[in-house]
Chain A
Amino acid sequence: MTETAAKTSRASLFATHKGVSTVALAILAVVVLGALFAPSSVSPGAILGMLPFAAVLAIIGLGQMLVVQQGGIDLSVPGAMSLAIVIISHYPTGDNSLVLPALGIAFLWAVGAGVLNALLIGYIGLNPIIATLGTNALLFGAIIGISGGTPRATAEILRTIAGDRTLGIPHTVFFALIALLVVSLLLKKTVAGRRFEAAGASRPAAFVVGLNVKAFNGMSYVWAQMLYLLGGVLLAGVTSQPTAYMGNSYLLPSVAVVVLGGTSLLGGRGFPLATVLAALFLRQLDQFVLALGVPFAVRTLVQAAAFVIGVAIYTIDWGEVRRRFQSVNRSPSGRKHS
């Protein structure tokens, strides 16, 4: 009995890290394929150009992951990011000294949006799709109200902080690493974080233990907004002339990286490192396909394929498939109805 227990536990230990190893393998594959068939995709220039955007996606993905692991989904990513971009570029209009106050304003908006989502979903019990859809529309109202829809150049100091490199590494990468570290630390090393994980892993079981499950569900939207804020501000710094709609292109990838990282859309455990790696993978895949010189259409199809294969890896019970296959091979009539 102990032997089988040991065996299954090793298998399940592996399962915990399935996300990280899967995505890491995928990155390796893209890099190797790139080196072989499209060397320009792994040139330093291409990598350095890709990294800032991968970093921003990683940060946004971490936010989405917190929500998804609580069984929710956040469609207010575009509004949240775009609002952060607009506030940080519009208020200062190039004046470095106003960047910090603008950041404060953006922070207040982010808290407001997060609390609104938290109340609607955690307390009133609205479906997260509807609630965050509504919040997203309200945020775009604010975006247009503040900026009138016209872009302004970001302040130089922000461009330096977000866009420069130190030791040859883009600053955004450091920010993404810090975000990863903070999220992981809070989840694994604090009482509230561990309870947060438990509430996501099983609502009924967490309720029995005495946890306020609704509060944890709701709070995930507030934490997510903090990360969207960071991602938005960095993106504003990286692209010196940001538009008011830049957040739109981050919604689907944010869900995609969460799913590719192994977090179930039905809730459960979140995998921060795998999510961040998935962001890197998705962007490098883009680079690779781009370097192959194929049209935009094929790039999109490759993304779709990567996404579907990724979901299939985690959704399908491969052990069951193997067992069924074997039992069909051995005894065609056996265990049909079990």
Chain B
Amino acid sequence: MTSSRTADNAILELIGISKNFSGVPALTDVSLDIRAAEVHALLGENGAGKSTLMNIATGMFRPSEGEIRFEGKPLRDFGPHEAQEMGIAIVHQHPAVMPDLTVLENFQVALPRDAFPAGMRDRDYVQTLLDTVKLDVQLNDRVETLSVASKHLLEIAKALALKPKVLVLDEPTAPLGQDSVDMLFGLIREAVATGTSVIYITHRLAEVREVATRVTVLRDGKLRQTSMVSDVSDKELLSLIVGRELESTFPEKRSVPPGVEPNLVVQNLTGEGFQNITITGYPGQIIGLAGVVGNGQSEILRALAGLESFDGSIKIGQLERKQRELRTEAALMPADRQHDGLMMRMSVRENAAVAALKKFTSGLLLSRKKEDLQVAEVFGQLQVKTASPEAVVSSLSGGNQQKVVMSRALLSDPLVILADEPTQGVDVGARAELYRILRTVSESGIPVIVASSDAKELEGLCDTVYVISRGQVVRELHDDEITEQDMVHAAVTSTTRVIDLKKMEAEEKRTNRNSLISKFWRFARGDYAPSLLLLLVIFGLGAYILSTNDKYLNSFNISSMLLLATALGFIALGQTIALLTGGLDLSVGPLAGLLVVVISFFATDEFTLGSLVLGAVAMFAVALAVGFVNGSLIRYVRFTAVAATLGTYIALQGFSFVLRDSPGGSIDTGITSVITYKFGPIPAAFLVLAIGTLIMEWLLRKTSWGWKLRAIGSEEEAARRVGVNTNRTVITGYMLTSTFTLFGAVLLMAQLGIGDPSQGIGYTLSSITAVVLGGTSLLGGRGSFVGTLFGAMLLVQVLNATVFLGLDQTWQYVLQGTLILIAAVIYSVARARR
């Protein structure tokens, strides 16, 4: 253990590391040294501290105690970014990818610029990276269309591209098929040959034997042993992994008297993430699902609860049960209590009662008396400790929260109880009580299935255990056969491989990806399909109007339409930026109005060059300040975008009226004519807008500004992990939104010709309409400026069309409404299709 201090070829040394999470120790005095060019396997059960240790090594967490040395030098206060720069790369269990960005862009936003070789196009280089991991996807495909396995390969390729000195792989083979696993092992050997050290976290002994030279076992946050793989047998490793002390006491088990009919028969259950699951349960028995977390146990329980669709049959009691019935009659206790299990902001009583409300009715209304009585009764049985049934459930301890979930299940008189990691985050005393309750429930004849990654727990609690690995049952254990040793053995030595249906589908698709149909859908899902659609509609509508009225294309009409479209277009470009970050800016309309009022003090008949410059400076100052306030309220004060920009919306209207309580300050006609200067029928301003749009589009696609902006809108957490400064990007984004609004205001000033405090407000909604028509998603992460420009043009054209077609104002509204709804439906359908 102390050899790490003397190991002269150690590249990364972790010395005496301890880590506490709010007082609870996750790691205690762990020392580990990684030598140059070795594969070091890290073994241990869930919760043994493997991931925590690696998060410390890569700068995500800071250790409570201990020292980290890299290449002999002690490291202090370093973050993931610094770790990456030093040459420590990690491939997380959950890939940090941006689903709305393309494969190419995911590399571009995540890798530092100097990782790309000079004199080679980015896409050619990324293609070579993909080839090394044998990932056969199109560079322009959005990452969301990739299978889980492909996303992992992409992550691995990203990490390898950094040419790290230390590469951490956290259960990399979990989602991969056999070919990819072999390929990955090949890559690991190659990397090691070039001097890279690899830390390999896994649950599988077979893999340890295949790639690792040394192995370290952790248990309960403590170091068990580090040794050469060749020096240690599977049996020894196993005994190091298992054998955790468990303080809880378990209720007595039940053996099944012969001749009893089973009360639960599951046959050939197959669904997303699991297949051919067969389970038989008898009255009074508790059934366990063992295995490493994430091997399909949760999915099986969700299917049994009717939350996911499945093939195969589920018989409870004597009857076959359909998904719909299970959905309302089965009771699931999810592993993630905070998110799926409880409505955290509601009271203890409300949570307990929600699945059984029908029992509490008296006539048409609910009887509070009945409800209180029955809830109190269950709480008494389960010994739920709460100050009052009206306390919010989040104020309870983990154990009592779980008891509330249990109460809810019992009150609903369920067909079956499905408990997923029921004792996670539950203190020892409450654990024993939960075990007792589960036993009592089971004895009452309700089938009980418990999934747990804690084999010791299943050993104490269950009468039958199915060990699940990669979605399949690899072992079935009864009564006395149920030992921690056997379960862990079955899980870690299993050689099953994933049968990833999605991946097969994806591969299928790829084989015929050059067919016309798949090309069509590829385009339809892209960012430019809306633009094409809008162009077609614009020309179609134009042609139709021209056929009924040949004055439509006279130069006056064209230039006035284009001028209107220019004002809206600029503001909508700004709005596009806000939407791309996943936000929204309601304040653009009033801001445009305010800016016109501001300039109306400077650009009157008596204007001088000095006053104009001063006016321009004032406009910029106001616009940038508004953008800064919007962005800061959203990022620092954590307002929702709607709340923040609604606040500035109202305030800006107020400021307009502070400056002018009625229209005034005529804009000099000379200035107006400069702004509306035309080449033939085409206003110069429109050309500026068109060029500006193209530049913005280029920036969005080809520069790191654009990738970062969309990365945040797509998946903020992943963006942060790859090193995007989220606060700064969003705040400057809102400042840019305001700046484009300023350009729109210049056009508006020429149209209005006067500083009118009540104008401009309508631009808020019409800018959102234009952006949405252009195909930019309100969820953030995807869209295009070109689409926005066409959206603005179509909107103006539709309003103009009603005049030429002799339609009344009704049609103006109806066409606008229909347009936006149809566009939104089409885009969402195209997006949903994979």
What is the minimal beta-carbon distance from A221 to any residue of chain B, in angstroms? Answer: 14
Which positions 50-104 of chain B face chain A at CB distance < 8 Å?
62
Chain B residues positioned under 8 Å from A149 (CB to CB): 809
Q: Are A307 and B306 in contact (CB under 8 A)?
A: no
Given contacts A1-B397, A130-B820, A297-B654, contact A13 B343 (CB under 8 A): no
Q: Are A133 and B639 in contact (CB under 8 A)?
A: no
Contact of A303 with B by CB under 8 A: yes
Question: How long is the Cα–Cα vector from A25 to B26 in the complex, in angstroms?
Answer: 46
Contact of A151 with B by CB under 8 A: no
Contact segment of A31-39, A44-52, A53-61, A138-146 = A138-146
- A interface, how many residues as a size bin? 35 or more
Q: Are A210 and B328 in contact (CB under 8 A)?
A: yes
Q: Are A297 and B646 in contact (CB under 8 A)?
A: no
Given contacts A141-B814, A190-B366, contact A201 B820 (CB under 8 A): no
Partner of B650, one of A13, A73, A304, A312: A304
Contact segment of A92-100, A176-184, A261-269 = A261-269
- CB nearest to B816 among chain A residues: A137
Q: Are B768 and A5 in contact (CB under 8 A)?
A: no
Type the 1/0 row for A287-305, where 1 means its CB is closer than 8 Å to any CB of B: 0000000011111110111
Q: Are B817 and A10 in contact (CB under 8 A)?
A: no
Q: Are A252 and B395 in contact (CB under 8 A)?
A: no
Contact of B293 with A by CB under 8 A: no
Contact of A206 with B by CB under 8 A: yes
Given contacts A130-B772, A189-B365, A194-B357, contact A208 B341 (CB under 8 A): yes
Interface of A is mostly: helix
- CB nearest to A129 among chain B residues: B778
Q: Are A205 and B658 in contact (CB under 8 A)?
A: no
Q: Are A5 and B643 in contact (CB under 8 A)?
A: no
- CB nearest to B354 among chain A residues: A198
- B interface, how many residues as a size bin? 35 or more
Which positions 1-19 of chain A face chain B at CB distance < 8 Å?
1-2, 5-6, 8-13, 15-16
Chain A residues positioned under 8 Å from B340 (CB to CB): 204-205, 207-208
Question: How long is the Cα–Cα vector from A156 to B820 in the complex, in angstroms?
Answer: 39
Q: Are B643 and A206 in contact (CB under 8 A)?
A: no
Q: Are A5 and B396 in contact (CB under 8 A)?
A: yes
Which positions 268-316 of chain B face chain A at CB distance < 8 Å?
305-307
Which positions 128-180 of chain A face chain B at CB distance < 8 Å?
129-131, 133-145, 148-149
Contact of A28 with B by CB under 8 A: no
Question: How long is the Cα–Cα vector from A120 to B772 in the complex, in angstroms?
Answer: 15
Contact of A279 with B by CB under 8 A: no
What is the minimal beta-carbon distance from A297 to any residue of chain B, in angstroms? Answer: 3
Partner of A296, one of B343, B408, B661: B661
Question: How long is the Cα–Cα vector from A122 to B742 in the complex, in angstroms?
Answer: 37
- CB nearest to A189 among chain B residues: B365
Chain B residues positioned under 8 Å from A195 (CB to CB): 354, 357
Q: Are B661 and A297 in contact (CB under 8 A)?
A: yes
Q: Are B391 and A9 in contact (CB under 8 A)?
A: yes
Contact of A127 with B by CB under 8 A: yes
Q: Which A residues form the contact surface with B (CB < 8 A)?
A: 1-2, 5-6, 8-13, 15-16, 73, 75, 120, 124-127, 129-131, 133-145, 148-149, 185, 188-191, 194-195, 197-198, 201-202, 204-210, 252, 255-256, 259, 265-266, 268-269, 295-301, 303-305, 307-308, 311-312, 315-316, 337
20 A-B pairs in the complex with CB atoms less than 8 angstroms apart: A1-B385, A12-B392, A13-B392, A127-B778, A130-B772, A135-B817, A141-B814, A189-B365, A191-B361, A194-B353, A198-B346, A205-B339, A252-B649, A265-B642, A299-B654, A300-B653, A304-B650, A305-B651, A307-B647, A307-B650
